[in-house]
Structure 1
Amino acid sequence: MKPRTVLSMEQALSMPYATLRFAQLGWRVIRLESTPSGDGLPGDPNRYIGGKVADDDRRTYFIAPNVGKEAIALNLKEPDGQALLRRLLVELDVDVFCCNTVPRRYKQLGIDYSTLAAAKPDLIWAGISAMGPDYPDAPGYDPVIQAMAGYMELTGAADGPPTLAGVPIIDLKAGDEVYANVMMALIERAESGKGTRIDVSMLQAAASWLITTLPLLDFDCQPSEITRCGNEHRKFIPTNVYPTADGFIYMAIGSDVQWRRLSEIPKFASIGSATRTTNEGRHRERDAIHRDVTAVTSRYPTAEIAADFRDATIPHAPIHDIPAVREMEAIRRRLTTTRMPGGKLVHMQPMAVDVAGADGGELPFAPRYGQHTDAVLRETGCSEDEIALLHARGIVAG
């Protein structure tokens, strides 16, 4: 697929993650931020979260989702700013416009699909919001949607409080939905020549992942099947995190054959019984099985238990901390990178999927606030006098 141009009015994480995936493909991504209003720091609030990296508006939390992008600042509260946005769409031949503000602001800011499509009929428009355009005032915060969509109810110890996931999975899920649906829209456009409107509801996207729990309601499930169960699997026994002499190991028994292999390991011979040969039988003794397995694993170092499981073809993994994840061969050689203004190499997360010819290696450092405003305006045919006037009137910044 040939490189495309994306103009994205984005902030926080959900949409920046989506457009990062486009930047990794070598597409041109221009992030659009608001001009200073006097109410707080200008632009994306995430610019100011975390430790200072290069300057005050490029802190640690902002860098990784925004490498490989350009940045402009435009005042869309003014009609002239909205007209300039439409000019940008046409003159830069923008393929995709993205936004992740609340839907009630679409019309106010002149970024609604009908307005922008009137200027560029083949435009693909993609918006992320908490619950879609039917709920125009709902703010889309990942932890709030985790609570609303039942994720917190399903996460944590059975006797503990509802718990957030360790990564902002709903932000990232929403970003992936934009990525996938834009690709589908580009295919459709190649056939029809028409643009598309894409609305991603964070709540709906999150609920689509409740495939192992929500349908159980119509199967007269037990309450224990749709609530927290710690590190256990609700159906397959034993699947859990077990202590070792020097740490922890995760083991997952997914079939009766794997259970037999486990109980044939000399260390684990004591855990076997006729009742436990089937998963149904193991369900009846799940607590006792967890105690019995723990009694064995806690006596040996992780590496020794892992070697036994590997020889017996038992699914397992040590519990890695994040530095250990980065050093895994399968990850380390696929890390993306960027360079700080001073030249320091920064290692980041890998691409989700290897793509031949993609810019998944080293990407340009995240842009300063409004860093490319003037350069982009020149591309649209603005003269230096026009640019100076736009700055003076507060229509653009940077």
Structure 2
Amino acid sequence: MQGALKGVKVLDLSRVLAGPLGTMLLADLGAEVVRVEQPGGSDDIRHWWPFAGEESTYYLSANRNKKSITLNLKSERGRSLFEDMVQKADVVVENFKAGTLARLGLSYEHLTSINSKIILCSVTGYGQDGPYHKQPGYDPVIQAVAGLMDVTGEADGEATRVGTPVVDIMTSHYVCISILAALRSRDESGKGQHIDLSLLDVQVSSLANIASSYLMNGHVSKRAGNAHGNITPYETFLCRDKPLMIAAGNDRMFAALCNVIGQESLAEDPRFRTNADRIAHRGELREILESVFKTERADAWAEKLAANQVPCGPVNNIEQVFQHDQVKHRDMVVEHSHSSLGMYKGVRNPILSDGNALDVNSAPPTLGEHTTSFLSEWFNFDQKTIDDLKKRVSYRQRLFALCN
């Protein structure tokens, strides 16, 4: 799988997270991904705290293995150069508001007139059409609108956002999957296609069993905190030092749990004998279990329960995650030299192929880091031509500053 997408050229106009994470997956798989930003930068994520040196750690999380160039798509020369790039490219990824690319004179129809094989992947909050298609889409807003927040949080508390930008992350996977499928389809048809991905669609599709429960029998799921609405004990219990998550998903696991904690009789108690019984007496069972779990540390309980094949794990903070023996064994942290920071550290792509991780060939690029080398490699521009282009950009930036 190493370098599986070698030779695939991707022009990445996307910003923030869903698009960049998706193109990073393509880059991890060997595609040549070129970030295209306006001179001076056009990706807000570059300015999000916290920072390592002058680089946003948020930006660093989504842009390894890519090149970065600056190009003014609002100028005639910039659009012309981008059109030349499209002729040589396989994929364009963008996440402007619906219709923005067309207003720049770069609609899908125009791009296909330049290169009939081009694949355009457009990522928006609500899609390319419909009554909401012009509204901007942000992960927490979509979590709210598409039901995720309403089923997340304590039963008697407020609706809660998931701690990571999970809608963006899920959408990035669909960016990669859909582009891979479009490339395969193009192998057969010889034609590209326009992919329309929306954060709303992705989140609604991810409601999974919650959506099925409503669509098939009208059941409207509600928040249950860390508990499971249909299985118990399947939740967190406070131990001496921190919470422990337990997922005893069947009667055998429940009996094993009871043996571990020295409460064997609970498995035969009529109130708790089956899962249905345990659900009916959830409060009583929780009170009994938590009183026992509070007597020892979470890690100690986890070791005993795991030895008896009861799924469980302590609730770790982020520092503890990266100190976890299994995380370290799996070499989840990768490093690479960085042009301004000296060293970049990140989380590796989770794919292992024949036991091998995907390579990190380059750290996330600084703004415009590869403009000169890119123009030379893709278009054979000499240094004089490149310097002239840079002078034009510099002049326009100074003129803009004077007029504002």
Q: TM-score, normalised by structure 1?
A: 0.90
2:26 equivalent in structure 1: 22
1:362 and 1:188 map into 2 onto residues whose CA distance is 28
1:341 equivalent in structure 2: 339
Pairwise mapping of residues 132-171 of structure 1 onto structure 2 (< 5 A)? Answer: 132-134=127-129, 135-171=132-168
**How many Å apart are 1:222 and its aligned residue?**
5.0
Pairwise mapping of residues 94-173 of structure 1 onto structure 2 (< 5 A)? Answer: 94-134=89-129, 135-173=132-170
**How many Å apart are 1:270 and its aligned residue?**
5.2
Kindly indicate whether the alpha-carbon contact (under 8 Å) linking 1:133 and 1:199 is maintained by their aligned counterparts in 2.
yes
Kindly indicate whether the alpha-carbon contact (under 8 Å) linking 1:50 and 1:59 is maintained by their aligned counterparts in 2.
yes
1:54 and 1:360 map into 2 onto residues whose CA distance is 27
Change in Cα spacing, 1:360 to 1:323, as seen in structure 2 (3 Å) is farther
Return the letter of the residue paired with 1:371: E
Contiguous gaps of at least 5 residues in structure 1: 37-41
Q: Can you list the C-alpha shifts for 1:188-232, whole angstroms capped at 9, x where unaligned?
A: 111221112111111001111111112222444555xx1211000
1:266 and 1:389 map into 2 onto residues whose CA distance is 75
Kindly indicate whether the alpha-carbon contact (under 8 Å) linking 2:349 and 2:357 is maintained by their aligned counterparts in 1.
no
Kindly indicate whether the alpha-carbon contact (under 8 Å) linking 1:46 and 1:62 is maintained by their aligned counterparts in 2.
yes
Kindly indicate whether the alpha-carbon contact (under 8 Å) linking 2:255 and 2:264 is maintained by their aligned counterparts in 1.
no
Aligned length: 386
Return the letter of the residue paired with 1:11: R
2:283 equivalent in structure 1: 287
Pairwise mapping of residues 299-310 of structure 1 onto structure 2 (< 5 A)? Answer: 299-310=295-306
1:10 equivalent in structure 2: 14
**How many Å apart are 1:143 and its aligned residue?**
0.7
Pairwise mapping of residues 172-321 of structure 1 onto structure 2 (< 5 A)? Answer: 172-221=169-218, 223=220, 226-265=221-260, 267-269=262-264, 271-272=266-267, 273-321=269-317
Structure 2 residue corresponding to 1:73, chosen from 66, 70, 74: 70
SS in 2 for 1:275: coil
Contiguous gaps of at least 5 residues in structure 2: 398-404
Kindly indicate whether the alpha-carbon contact (under 8 Å) linking 2:39 and 2:393 is maintained by their aligned counterparts in 1.
yes
Kindly indicate whether the alpha-carbon contact (under 8 Å) linking 1:335 and 1:350 is maintained by their aligned counterparts in 2.
yes
**How many Å apart are 1:54 and its aligned residue?**
4.1
Q: Can you list the C-alpha shifts for 1:261-287, whole angstroms capped at 9, x where unaligned?
A: 222335233544123111111111011
2:393 and 2:199 map into 1 onto residues whose CA distance is 33
1:141 and 1:176 map into 2 onto residues whose CA distance is 17
2:374 and 2:357 map into 1 onto residues whose CA distance is 22
1:155 and 1:167 map into 2 onto residues whose CA distance is 13
Kindly indicate whether the alpha-carbon contact (under 8 Å) linking 2:92 and 2:121 is maintained by their aligned counterparts in 1.
yes
1:293 and 1:219 map into 2 onto residues whose CA distance is 34
SS in 2 for 1:30: strand
SS in 1 for 2:262: helix
1:218 and 1:359 map into 2 onto residues whose CA distance is 40
2:248 and 2:375 map into 1 onto residues whose CA distance is 59
1:393 equivalent in structure 2: 392
Change in Cα spacing, 1:311 to 1:387, as seen in structure 2 (3 Å) is closer
Output the aligned Cα RMSD. 2.2
Pairwise mapping of residues 379-390 of structure 1 onto structure 2 (< 5 A)? Answer: 379-390=378-389
Which piece of structure 1 moves more, 190-199 or 175-184? 190-199
**Whose RCO is larger (CA < 8 A, sep 6+)?**
1
Kindly indicate whether the alpha-carbon contact (under 8 Å) linking 2:150 and 2:160 is maintained by their aligned counterparts in 1.
yes
Pairwise mapping of residues 348-363 of structure 1 onto structure 2 (< 5 A)? Answer: 348-355=346-353, 360-363=358-361
1:299 and 1:222 map into 2 onto residues whose CA distance is 38
**How many Å apart are 1:366 and its aligned residue?**
1.9
